[in-house]
Structure 1
Amino acid sequence: MREVSFHKGANFVVDTEDSKRHNKVGKTTFLKLIDVLMGAQNRSHIYTDQETNTEAIELRDTINKKRIAAEMTLSENLDAPYGKTVELKVELFPRGRYFIDGERMSQTNYRSKLNELLFGIANNVPTFRQLINSFVRVSVGGDDNAFLRTLTRASIATYRSVYNFLFDISDPELDSKLSQLNAQLNRTRESLRQYMRVNGVEDVEQQRQILVALEGEYAQAKAQADDIFDADEYKSNRDAIASVRAEYASLVDQLSELDYRIGRNREALNNARAEKQRRADLELSRRFFDEVCTMLPNLNKTFEDMVSFNDKLCDNKISYFEDIERDLLDERTSLENEQKALLASNSQFLSLVAKDRIDEYERLSANLMQLRQDIGRCQETVDTLDRYDHELASIQENIASYSTGGSARKGKGGEYQEMMSSFNGYFTHLAQQINGEKPILVYYPDTDKFPVSITAISGSSTGTRKSLIAAFDLAYQQFAIANRIHTPRFIVHDVVENVEGEDLRTIVNAANGIDAQYIVAVLKEKLDSSNIPEDEQSALQILQLSEDDKLFEGKTVDEAESSDRMIEQLASIP
């Protein structure tokens, strides 16, 4: 469909439409193609608006129908002769394949091979996509140092690995180990947090003091139990104690029952005696008897016979209750003797029973058992928290041993202060040329901090920030060349409309003076307003797009070709 050749210095992808109609012709899409050839995860972003998540359906269907692929030639040198070249190819349609020098491979292997080609990294640490985002900035926004955070949802350890490699501050293998240690540290901290939450624990000192309190309570309860009974003796004679206690309790129950029966019998006996002592009115009884006799002519008993019978009846009742009392008292005496004999033969056991302290002892024993369980749980918690503390201390000690500053962390370029000084020598000078600012890049050896930041910038506008990104990336190219760091010799930037005209002109001049490629999407009207001459614009322009000549709908499209392709030529130093 198109063949585009890149050159050293500034490379313009130009949108010739006026400001009311631009951003629809494909200049950002062209940069996305470069990102796809650099192993970007999702090829659908070519025809998807990331802000609105809407698809350009016509473009999507064109890619799928024509089975379009993008190709790129990486060359060893930026100037002829170009030396060794490598051909990259990525099929843009769904489930499209990846190729390097015609060899088909998975996306993972494709990225690993690019990591070796463009960064000289054979073990893929850091990964290619972690590094290439510092060179291919398809979408850069924000008015702060956000452009330093080139990755999505990456840890501080990952960023440290990336910047340590880019500035040759340490061995990537050590950075990988540091990243693993930091990940392990975070996992251990989270595990500890969850353990403490589930077990209702605040800290280990709290648990140690609870443990001391429980042990003190246990010692006190055990002393009380020992005062009542020897624990070993109680355990060894538990069955005998239980049997004697049951027998003793039975005797006590029988005695209580007898006392109740004796009391009731004595109450009946007293009533019988009281009844006999009461003397009725015999004269009244006689008149009543005579009256009844007239009604019963055959009655052969006299009034005196009736009085004598009633007296004998009372005497019999008294005698009966007296006999029962004697029997009950005899039975009670027998039970008391039996109880005394039981106490005499089991004195070592029943001394507690007689004082009713067995229940107290068993209560104390149950409390001691519960306290032992509580102490065991608390001790386990303390031991677990101690293990966490030791594990965290060990991990942090290992992290400290991998921290920047030691000989093991020193890159071949020198200490981090030397590398920052080298970079800032280019960065501050270039930024001052572009917009008058004097920023510096600060490196933090503390592994808990984000590794780098920009400082000494005050009140910068969005345009200044855009120009700062260009100054940073161009300065890095100068730094990498000077320090012989194996990285790509190209920079890809999205729109620079917010850069002031004079600043853009300075950026272009700086890019043309560096042995690297600065590829940028820009509006034609922006180039004009920056006072860049037409002949210079023409010389630096690599692709011109318009409403009538869109990226995938250009006049150069050959509808009859059976294999449509896009060739993009970039360069890197091995």
Structure 2
Amino acid sequence: MLIERLIVRKTVPTIEVIRDIRFNAKGLSLILDNTSNRSQDTGNNVGKTTALKIIDLCLGGKSVRSLYYDPDTRSENTDIKKLLNDYKIEAELVLRRESKKVRIIRQLYNRGKRIINGKEYPQEEFWEKLKEIIFDLKEPYPTLRQLIPKFVRLNDSTDESIITFLPNTSADTYDTIYLFLLNILSNDLLSEKDILSNRLKECENKQKLLEKDENISSLDSLKQKYQLVEKELAELIEKRKHLNYIDTYKEELEKRRTLASKLNLLEEKLQLLEFEISYFNKSISKLENEKSNIDLRQLQHLYSEAKAYVNDIDKTFDALVNFHNTMIQNRIDFIKTQLETKTQEFDTLLSQRDQVLEEKKRLTIEVLDEGLLEELNVLNTKIEKLNVEKGEINQSIKIMEGVNNEIKELSEKVKKISEQMEPDNITKKVTKFNEYFSAYCEKLYGEKYWFVYDRDWKKKKKFPVMLDWFKGRVGTGMKKGVIVAFDLAYMKFAHEIGIKVPQFVIHDKLENTHINQLKSIFELCNEIEGQYIIPILRERVGKVDQNILESAKVLELSSDNKFFRLN
């Protein structure tokens, strides 16, 4: 899938095209910033990355705020913000795969629509449709926005990391992403593996929580404790059998044993309910903590964006904070409803247990020999206490075994899927990718780096992928160049293998890359069957052959010709 064209236009009061950018079908596409060398012309406000941000929005990016908000200065460009809303600016991105074209429209204002080939989609369906179009992927995982940042590197997370281009993402998710990118597993197995891995993680967290409970500890410890209690209980029951009491009182004693059994069953149920109530209370406490530790700065940003979409907004920032807390409170209320049901059930069983205890208290054997009665009562008390303890331990064992069995079952399913990854196939794919990656790194820096996928990463408790090198580490000055080599190499690899992924790479912030590497990068672009799209200051590439620049440029901007033409 290639980017053919990006059109940005006003739709109110009439249609007026602001920019119509036609990208080169192959190789390098440059957005040149012609800002002069005058001190008052900084080049920071001409909008050279705006086209890239708009492409990202058309590919599912969430917020149009990036078009007018500067995170470095924490300020907004109110002129652009007003332009987007007053003139109802929209962007149309035209993608092409062979002879088939796809037209994506993203309206860049408050409550703007998302349209693909003339059909409007809500956000989630928009993502799913784009994923199917661009990646030929219908399964739930990996998601569109887990994949796109590999090809469109615009923010700090994607800009500074070579192989980890998503913030706050688990190793399991990265494993799914790279298995997809390398075409090692079929899409249906990949998605199933990701779902199973997420469920497995939840079970493992539940297991850790249970092990922290002072009444549960480990499963082995519970089983040992159960054996000791059962042995002691058997000894006491055997001792009670040998007491010389009159057959007349057997009926009353049997009643006591019946009540003890009933009491034991009630205690087992109460213990399970007590655990569930404790679990719900911890969940509520965690949510309450989220509500109290709200990131006010992030909400302030959201509030500012909302004001961009609605004139004379009548909601205060405090109202937004309240709304956020209300969302969490709704979750708390839902859990509290479940908690209330369990608490009522607990109280009911507690009342039943008290009734049984009271009934036991009323049951006496007055005429029984006083010494024998005392010994019998002591034995019965011990037996009843041990029966309760045995029931509690048994219930804890059932809970732990249930979680352990689920972990075992899920792990086995994940293992079976992983076993379908043929080592020869992995080696073949990774070797093919490294042919290009190592060669590109050597051309840029005279050093060979190579990519590694570890099939046994989970067993070794490592990250699934890594980079290795012949010489030292990747320094900060080299990192951008290695990222370029990595992404261009993948583009060539995907084209040769026939993987349906974007045949374009979009990078920002190449100004710090040395001119020698920039020249080499531009040369590499001649070897790829795809597009490399970057914005850059003309003065940074002044030593590059001007014929190359002229043939590669798709847009020129300056302080007198800004992207949105607001001069």
| Cross-structure match for 1:2 | 19
| Cross-structure match for 2:8 | none
Q: CA RMSD in A?
A: 2.7
Match of 2:561 among 549, 556, 565: 549
Aligned-residue offset at 1:153:
2.9
CA contact (8 A) 1:430 1:475 kept: yes
| Cross-structure match for 1:417 | 427
Measured at CA, do residues 64 and 351 of structure 1 come closer, stay the same or move farther in structure 2, by a change above 3 Å? closer
Aligned-residue offset at 1:221:
2.9
CA contact (8 A) 1:157 1:447 kept: no
Match of 1:132 among 148, 151, 159: 148
| Cross-structure match for 1:431 | 441
The CA deviation string for residues 499-547 of structure 1, in whole angstroms up to 9 with x for no partner, is: 111011000111123221100111112111xx20223222211112222
If the length of structure 2 is used for normalisation, what is the TM-score?
A: 0.71
CA contact (8 A) 1:160 1:175 kept: no
The CA deviation string for residues 56-83 of structure 1, in whole angstroms up to 9 with x for no partner, is: 2221111101100011111234xxxxx3
Q: Distance in 2 between matches of 1:467 and 1:42?
A: 29
If the length of structure 1 is used for normalisation, what is the TM-score?
A: 0.70
Does 2:352 match 1:352?
A: no
| Cross-structure match for 2:33 | 15
Does 2:451 match 1:441?
A: yes
- SS of the residue corresponding to residue 453 of structure 1 reads strand
Pairing of 1:172-191 with structure 2 (within 5 A): 172-191=187-206
CA contact (8 A) 1:112 1:128 kept: yes
Match of 1:71 among 66, 83, 92: 92
Higher relative contact order (CA 8 A, sep 6+): 1
The CA deviation string for residues 126-174 of structure 1, in whole angstroms up to 9 with x for no partner, is: 2222222111111256997x33222233332322222111111111211
Aligned-residue offset at 1:177:
0.9
CA contact (8 A) 1:352 1:358 kept: yes
Q: Distance in 2 between matches of 1:105 and 1:240?
A: 70
Q: Distance in 2 between matches of 1:215 and 1:51?
A: 67
Measured at CA, do residues 233 and 14 of structure 1 come closer, stay the same or move farther in structure 2, by a change above 3 Å? farther
Does 2:466 match 1:450?
A: no
| Cross-structure match for 1:41 | 62
| Cross-structure match for 1:470 | 484
Of residues 160-169 and 186-195 in structure 1, the stretch that sits farther from structure 2 once superposed is: 186-195
Q: Distance in 1 between matches of 2:180 and 2:372?
A: 79
Aligned-residue offset at 1:423:
0.3
Task: Answer with 1 or 2: which has the greater Rg.
Answer: 1
CA contact (8 A) 1:165 1:172 kept: yes
Q: Distance in 1 between matches of 2:68 and 2:447?
A: 38
Q: Partner amino acid for 2:123?
A: Q
- SS of the residue corresponding to residue 166 of structure 2 reads coil
| Cross-structure match for 1:386 | 401
Q: Partner amino acid for 2:30?
A: F
Q: Partner amino acid for 1:34?
A: I
- SS of the residue corresponding to residue 357 of structure 1 reads helix
Does 2:48 match 1:27?
A: yes
- SS of the residue corresponding to residue 442 of structure 1 reads strand
Aligned-residue offset at 1:213:
1.9
| Cross-structure match for 2:105 | 89
Aligned-residue offset at 1:176:
1.1
The CA deviation string for residues 11-45 of structure 1, in whole angstroms up to 9 with x for no partner, is: 11122225761222111222111100111112222
CA contact (8 A) 1:188 1:392 kept: yes
Specify every segment of 5 or more residues in structure 2 that has no aligned partner in the other structure, as ranges. Answer: 1-17, 257-364
Measured at CA, do residues 519 and 238 of structure 1 come closer, stay the same or move farther in structure 2, by a change above 3 Å? closer
Measured at CA, do residues 122 and 374 of structure 1 come closer, stay the same or move farther in structure 2, by a change above 3 Å? closer
CA contact (8 A) 1:140 1:147 kept: no
Q: Partner amino acid for 1:2?
A: R
Measured at CA, do residues 111 and 437 of structure 1 come closer, stay the same or move farther in structure 2, by a change above 3 Å? same
| Cross-structure match for 2:176 | 161
Does 2:210 match 1:195?
A: yes
Measured at CA, do residues 231 and 419 of structure 1 come closer, stay the same or move farther in structure 2, by a change above 3 Å? farther
Aligned-residue offset at 1:470:
0.5
Does 2:515 match 1:494?
A: no
Measured at CA, do residues 238 and 129 of structure 1 come closer, stay the same or move farther in structure 2, by a change above 3 Å? closer
Pairing of 1:251-270 with structure 2 (within 5 A): none
Q: Partner amino acid for 1:543?
A: L
Q: Distance in 2 between matches of 1:167 and 1:210?
A: 50
CA contact (8 A) 1:143 1:462 kept: no
Q: Distance in 2 between matches of 1:124 and 1:155?
A: 17
Pairing of 1:26-425 with structure 2 (within 5 A): 26-51=47-72, 53-77=74-98, 83-123=99-139, 125-140=141-156, 146-198=161-213, 200-230=215-245, 234-237=249-252, 352-353=369-370, 356-403=371-418, 405-406=419-420, 409=421, 415-425=425-435
Q: Distance in 1 between matches of 2:92 and 2:222?
A: 65
Paired residues, number:
434
- SS of the residue corresponding to residue 228 of structure 1 reads coil
- SS of the residue corresponding to residue 499 of structure 2 reads coil
Q: Distance in 1 between matches of 2:205 and 2:530?
A: 45
Specify every segment of 5 or more residues in structure 1 that has no aligned partner in the other structure, as ranges. Answer: 78-82, 242-347, 556-574
Aligned-residue offset at 1:196:
3.3
Aligned-residue offset at 1:199:
5.0
Q: Distance in 1 between matches of 2:245 and 2:150?
A: 79
Q: Distance in 2 between matches of 1:351 and 1:482?
A: 94
Aligned-residue offset at 1:479:
0.6
CA contact (8 A) 2:136 2:500 kept: yes
The CA deviation string for residues 184-225 of structure 1, in whole angstroms up to 9 with x for no partner, is: 111112222233334532211111121122123223333443
The CA deviation string for residues 71-110 of structure 1, in whole angstroms up to 9 with x for no partner, is: 1111234xxxxx3322221100011011122222223232
- SS of the residue corresponding to residue 11 of structure 1 reads strand
Measured at CA, do residues 419 and 140 of structure 1 come closer, stay the same or move farther in structure 2, by a change above 3 Å? farther
Of residues 164-173 and 440-449 in structure 1, the stretch that sits farther from structure 2 once superposed is: 440-449
Q: Partner amino acid for 2:111?
A: R
